[in-house]
């Protein structure tokens, strides 16, 4: 009968929720988020801001360096033209910072935006070439 009561006691212990006092905060460890994860979050945030791009344009992507929980991000974009390039880059910067802070919980010290290529808007029904 002793074995039955000890098994029941063990089962009760497994069902009991863990409390914060079970493991001291210093012994719990830490979560490290890989640079590539931050880069994916930043790229997705840039895609959200830019919306639809020309068919031949590459989607935005990022390179990230993380040092002591602070991220430095370089965004690579291809944009349609004509547009307000400065305003589009500013929107990308702001949204990338907001999303990285919200989703990853990491401080962002810098977001450098590099426009790799501009795609001129094609007017429908207008022949390509030089116009006067």
- What are 59-102's pLDDT values in tens digits? 999 999 999 889 999 999 999 989 999 999 999 999 999 999 99
Q: 70-81 and 61-67 as β-strands: parallel, antiparallel, unpaired? A: antiparallel
Query: Percent helix, strand, coil in the chain (nearest 5)?
Result: 40, 25, 35
pTM over 0.95, yes/no? no
- Please compute the mean of the pLDDT values over residues 120-129 and round it to a whole number: 58
CB distance 60 to 76 below 8 Å = yes
- What are 4-27's pLDDT values in tens digits? 555 666 666 666 665 556 777 777
């Amino acid at each position: 009968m002793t074995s039955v009561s000890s098994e029941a006691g063990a089962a009760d212990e497994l069902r009991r929720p863990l409390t914060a006092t079970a493991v001291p905060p210093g012994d719990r460890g830490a979560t490290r988020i890989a640079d590539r994860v931050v880069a994916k979050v930043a790229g997705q945030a840039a895609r959200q801001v830019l919306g639809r791009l020309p068919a031949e344009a590459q989607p935005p992507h990022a390179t990230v360096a993380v040092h002591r929980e602070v991220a430095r991000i370089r965004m690579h974009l291809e944009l349609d033209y004509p547009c307000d390039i400065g305003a589009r880059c500013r929107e990308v910067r702001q949204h990338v910072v907001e999303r990285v802070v919200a989703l990853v919980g990491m401080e962002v010290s810098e977001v450098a935006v590099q426009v790799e290529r501009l795609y001129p808007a094609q007017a429908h029904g207008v022949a390509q070439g030089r116009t006067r």
